[in-house]
Amino acid sequence: MARKAQKDVMKARKRIARELERVSPILPERVVITLPVSPSANRQWRNGKGRTYKSEEARAYGPSVKKAWKDAGLPVVAFPKGVEVTYTLVWYRFPAAGDLSNRLKACEDSLNGLAWADDKQVVEFHASRVDCKRGEQRIEITIERAVK
């Protein structure tokens, strides 16, 4: 049984690697996308029964970002390995509470394999927050190739 599970994991890894190698023929100069609000860093991890695990809220965030990416019609891995990127993030928040920096890592991680192959390609980012009305909460991200 364990051997079959190992084979399944290896197949999945190869499939993901092939997916990451797929690149759009014309690289965009800029990608703009609106995402749902990410869970705070304080709510991403939980401890229990002697282990640390991702919270249900954090596990649900990745698929919601993937859906937003697909709905926007953007290419998978818009900026492939080797292309350095910068991004600007604007968090529209309600209520007027929460730390801006606690939202960054969840957004970066959820964009792995969508916007970029890996978030280590990010060489610069700018972030800001804007208070908004109930129902208008969102995160807007503009991703661009880094200027060398």
The pLDDT tens digits for 4-42 are: 777 787 787 777 666 655 544 567 889 999 999 988 877
Question: pLDDT at position 1, please?
Answer: 56
Structural domain span for residue 23: 2-145
Q: How far apart are CA 59 and CA 66, in angstroms?
A: 12
**Tell me, what DSSP letter sits at residue 28?**
-
CATH at residue 105: 3.30.1330.70
Question: pLDDT at position 26, please?
Answer: 66
Q: What is the dihedral of CA 132, 136, 138, 141, to 10 degrees?
A: -80
Question: pLDDT at position 84, please?
Answer: 93
Q: To which residue do tokens 């801006």 refer?
A: 100
5: its two tokens = 């599970």
Sort strands 30-35 and 138-145 into parallel, antiparallel or unpaired.
Answer: antiparallel
Q: How far apart are CA 41 and CA 95, in angstroms?
A: 17
